[in-house]
Each structure stands twice: as C-alpha cells, then as structure tokens.
Amino acid sequence: MSSNEEHGAGTGAVDSVAAQRAIGNEHLKLQELIASTEHALSLGEADPQVVRLAGELRDAVEAHFEREESLYYPTLWALRPSVESALKTLVDIHRDFCVRLGSLVKTLERGEVLQAARQLEDFSALFGEHERAEERILASLLEAS
C-alpha cells in the first residue's frame, strides 16, 4: 500500500467512522446511566447511593463533552470545515448541561428528591435532543464521504 493510500483520501472516512462509533457508544452508555438515575430517583429516597449515582452521571457527561470538544469534533471539522459551525453551536450548549447536572446533584444533597426528579426529566429530554442532533450531523458527514 502506498503512503497515499494509507494516509490519503481514505483517512478522513476512517476517522469519521471511528468518531461516529465512539460518540454513539458513549451516548448509549450515558442513556443507560440516565435511566439508572431516573429509576433510583423514582424510589423516592435521597440516600447516599442516589447522590453518588447522580454525581457519576454528572462526571460521565462532563467527560463525554470534554472528549467531544477536544478530540472528536476538532478531528471532524478539520476534515469537513463545512460542519464546524453546526458542531460549535452544539458545543456551546454543553456548559448549560453541566450547570443543570451540578444543580441536580446539589438538589439531591439537600434531600429534595421530587425536585431532582423533575430536573433530571428536563435534562434527559434536552440532552436526548442534543445527542440526536449530533448523530444526525455525523451521519450526514459519513453519507457525504
């Protein structure tokens, strides 16, 4: 295989596929964590395990955003500058999600389970939309490659 074949036109497609797969897998894991937290909150107890679970969700979402912002998306928009603006719009929303989850953990630490459940419901709906928007952009990237 020539250097061009190894590092040439095909590389962008491979990187896009790898990034799409990684992001999709992370979204699935986050959805599982959201579902576990929703279930724990539905039991109505603000015990330490529920607080810990909500903290895990906050940390996992923050780590996911960090990878999107510093790794996946810069790779993608280097390959396809046309998607940079759409992806940056999605990245701008990340801070709001972090604030929401930080607030959710604090609510639980105060023992306000019903309020925390409402906060998680709002977060889940908005975050699901966010993930779907990301996945649509990634799918369109692959179709175009």
Residues near Fe ion (CB under 5 A): 68, 134
Which CB sits closer to Fe ion, 107 or 134?
A: 134
Between residues 76 and 134, which has the closer beta carbon with respect to Fe ion?
134
CB of 73 to Fe ion, least distance (A): 8
Instruction: Kindly tell me which of 20 and 68 has the beta carbon lying closer to Fe ion.
Output: 68
Which ranges of 43-112 would DSSP assign to H, the alpha helix? 48-67, 73-79, 84-92, 94-109
Q: How far is the CB of 37 from Fe ion (least distance, A)?
A: 17
Tokens of 104: 């959710």
| Residue 24, C-beta contacts closer than 8 angstroms, at least 6 positions apart | 135, 138
CB of 130 to Fe ion, least distance (A): 6
Backbone angles phi, psi at 76, to 5 degrees: -70, -40
